[in-house]
Amino acid sequence: MHNSLSADPSPPRDGYIYTKLGDLLGNAGNPQSRRDLQQVLTVIESAAYAAGEITLETVGKIAIKSTKTNTRDLVTESDVACQALIKKIITNDFPNDVFLGEEDVDLVSDGGAVALKKALGSGNIGDDPLLFVVDPIDGTTNFQAGLPLYAISIGVVSLRGERPEIVAGVIYNPLLGEMTSAVRGRGCYLNNNRIQHETDEHDQPRKSVLNESLINVGFPIAKESTLQASSRAVTALATEVRGLRMIASASQTMAWVAHNKLNAYFSWDLNAWDIAAGVVIVEESGGLVSNFDGSNADISSRDMIITCCAQRGEEGVLRDELVHLLRENDCLNY
């Protein structure tokens, strides 16, 4: 049995941050290799790391700048500064692609779904346009309070073809020194080390079952209906699982599902910037990302169940147990 999830708190030096930070803004990149997803990953890792440096200087020290949909949906100067830096780095290398950042969206008038639809309709430049979806600080309330439960999330969506596909992503927790990354079809990595989960005596990933699981529950408060659904879920699960958590950072939670630190996560009313990086990261780690009806989630999904790597041939065991219990207790309708 083995588990290779130990993280080196210092950033990796092989082919990512240290090859970019020296001249982040001095090289426009080679347009001929612009669709090389490994190059794209290098850029977004560098952008996430650079933004992380801002947060390390300001975590727990910066005042609230404004609120969004309610008094608990915070914005700080660091959110704005991080997004501006990320956008500058990405658009310097990929000036013809599309950028969607949370801090550019008026959630009161437009909403996340409307903003995403506009962004998806913008991919008409070039043969293979990309959409970069960014949450500069996912978990701003945690960040403002000085808690290490926030992350910088950058997802990359290919707009080629009829159906957008998430093809790469990074989730970076600066305080913990955890850079989780993935490119579609190439596996999931933690600080440049490929994630390999604990195995059983047959060298198969260990099976996760509900009563042995540590599960994170989303607690969306913007709508009374989702708040009530979440409350019912907590009541239903409290005695059926090993433990419940509410981390209040979707991307950080999804990274920890990919690491197998959490067995599952589910939430309602998510936005594209919450999940864009996490979807490909969890899937490349061997986990499942599903809509509440069991279908595969994508960039437009709002209500999702995310489960960690399960035993081969039984990939949906934990998800199906979770869906069954949530449906029985009327947690999936709101």
User: Binding site for Mg(2+): what residues are annotated?
Assistant: 102, 135, 137-138, 274
How many other C-beta atoms are found inside a 10 Å radius of the C-beta of residue 109? 7
Residue 154: closest CA among 205, 227, 241, 94? 94
Yes or no: say if 170 and 181 are a contact pair by the CB < 8 Å rule: yes
Annotated binding site: 102, 135, 137-138, 274
Angle formed at CA 309 by CA 219 and CA 151, multiple of 5 degrees:
45
The DSSP letter of residue 106 is: -
Q: Which two tokens stand for residue 281?
A: 């990261």
CA 30 remoteness from chain centre: 28
Give residue for tokens 């035993």: 311
For the record, the structure tokens of 191 come out as 């600080």
* CA atoms of 209 and 288, how far apart (whole Å): 14
HSE (side-chain half, CA atoms, 13 Å) at 135: 28
d(CA 171, CA 23): 22
**Residue 280 contacts by C-beta under 8 Å, 6 or more apart in sequence?**
155, 166, 167, 168, 169, 182, 183, 184
The token pair that represents 308 in the structure block: 């960690």
